Structure 1
Amino acid sequence: MGNNHMDSRALKALIMTAVVCLSTVAAAGVVSADNSLKVTVSDVTVSDDEPTTGDTITITPTVRHSSSSDGAFEITQVTLSGDGGNLAKVSDLGTIAGGESIDVPLRTSFDSAGDKELTVTVRGVQTDSDGITRSIDSVEYPVYVSVSAPSSSSPPEPRLQIDAQSAVAGTNTPVTVTVSNGEEDPLTDLSLDLEATNQNLDTETRLKPVLGTENITQFEFDIRPERTGTIDLKASLETSDAAVNTSKSIDVDALRTDVRVDATVIEENDSKFLQYRLINLGNAAVNDVTTVGTDDVGPAPAAAFGTVDAAHSQTVTVPTTLDADTTLSLHTEYQVGGESYDSSQSVHVSSSSMSIAPATAQPNQSAQQFSLTPGSITSLSGSVAALLVLGSLGGLGVIAFRRFRDGE
């Protein structure tokens, strides 16, 4: 009897130790098979941490890849949850390399007053420098917002909010101005201006005839800062019976261009394909990208990409007769902010027997982006026809582009 009692206590102690260990692992917030790859939510900004019910606020987490290795982190989903469910979600944000970060604005509003305990969750896939999946990660970050009921003593004025990420000098940066109408009557004859108090901006006045009661509307602007430092934005709204304004300062970074291309030969049955992957490591979008490769034998199939945003990547697959385990000299031409750039590099062409998942076209982009996560890898045989068409069109586009450029 005494031995059974001692065994029971020992079993309970073992169970408690396991629970504590599991809790410690869960609290770390990062699940990774490779400790050298670190992805964190380094900061979260809240446009208004004491809003009133019905106000739209923007919660912006900064996702940072602090690894010193050559691996990358593909962000598959960022969610904002709390108050009984999911409040906001964005998906397929692209890839960030080591030392890079990305801001992810999430907009939401609250129907009830009180202290809100929210959670930002970042999900993604860690890959090494060879594009091999190392782990599927999840990072959580707590956010606290205090929501109050609107005052009933006087009708609320229209509210303005400026949403903008950090800008890059000499390139276009989108800015969104949100107008909220919490009044009991509609707003009429809306006129909105966006200016900078310390730089020149060329923007046009936005007009809207009516904004209904307890409703919001958004006005989109493209700004092009002239110099680095900060730019102080001011949004001014005039209606038939009100005039309000708000301000926000954003950082303006110097332009940094860095475009890398790798190549892989993929074989299945008697078919062979050359897969180019372009990674934009700069801090501004690149446009009209063309890549042409040559080896000791002659030219390799060319590739044409559309717009590739900063900290994003795209993949183009074309038919080829090129063998793996060779070296390609790649010449890449692209545009940033209306200026032309080019880069040259030598890459070792690796081989892979992995199949490619079906391509999903991104808006306004001629290139296709493929997901190589374990859960989405499918057979290549069902996509051979589509890849042949894509490769033919990409090659013809590059040939026509180069002939036009050379004046032929």
Structure 2
Amino acid sequence: MIGGVTAVAANGPAVNVSSVNVTPTDPTVGETVTVEVTISNQEGSNSIVDVSSIMLRTTSEHYERVEDVGAIAPGGSLTIPITTSFDSAGEKNLLAHVSAASQSNGSRTSHLRAYYRPITIDVEAPEIDAGIAASTNNSGETTVTLTNYGNVELTDAEIRTAVDGTQRDQRSTFDITPNESESVTFDTTNYDSDAVTLTGAYTARGERHEVTRTVDLNRQVQGEIRLTSVEVTERGTAISVDGEAANIGGTDVDSVLVRIPDSETVSPASGAGEFFVGSVDASEFATFELSSSVSNGTDTLPIELTYLVDNERITTTQTIDLSTASPVSPESSQDRPAATAGGDGSAGSSGLPLIPLIVGLLVVVGGSGLLYRLWNRE
């Protein structure tokens, strides 16, 4: 923090300590601080100003001093950097003390005058604090980020990965200023475990430090189509396949096509040899139906699966065991002849229907009884 107006000695040259800039604005104990002091000779001045020295000081202590700064013509200015550091934390109230004199006939006058500008610098106690984190994408790349949470710059920074105590990789980063981060990316697709130990190493205030953290990569499994709940029905050499195309992965799958490829032993049925399923979300399924003809003695039926996952086309083949097929007779139950009565419950030789015979007998018996009653009444 910088404030106040330059105090100019009475009847002195038109000298002004026009600005003071401090870098960094919030230094820490022991950190190098640069104070840029700008001195100007105001427009309309009738002489050149010769700057003898610039000091950073308090009322009782001198920090830094620069001698024989230079001369400033009327309307000109001069900026001088001065570096210093502080041994303790707290608010430092300083003065930019400029000693200058006007020149007469090319030579310095005998009277130096002092010009001041107050400076307030807040010096912080050093805090060394860093954190490390990671994120993994669907391609198996893990980005590790080292963040500087303290107020001290981190230099010579590097990030290491390890699995089960064995280092797998290492990357260097740029220096990290306070409240900033640096990231590096590792290919973790071939790591033996999802539990990975991350280590960020860096130098702060001349000493080496490390921050370590074990993370779970949470690698997302790509979508994958697998045929499940498959039922095979056999009608002679004709085979029907009904089932589910299940996505057993963790990402959505698009453009799923299920088909029976043509071969010497397998011929897909016309119009029923392939089935377009479409999209299948992660952990979901869709049903399909296929038909084909197979040669006698064929034990297996190949089914080809084609789909898109993460913009990549995948083609696989899953084989179905035909020994589990459920045979179906070519004749339906409606075409079988009705059973006829016989002595042993099977079809008789007369071929006469059983129910009409019974009804006829009842009619005959009933008629005979009626004639008997009529005869006795006479």
Where on the TM-score scale, by shorter chain, does this alignment land: which range?
A: 0.3 to 0.5
User: Which one has a bigger Cα radius of gyration?
Assistant: 2
TM-score (norm 1): 0.42
TM-score (norm 2): 0.44
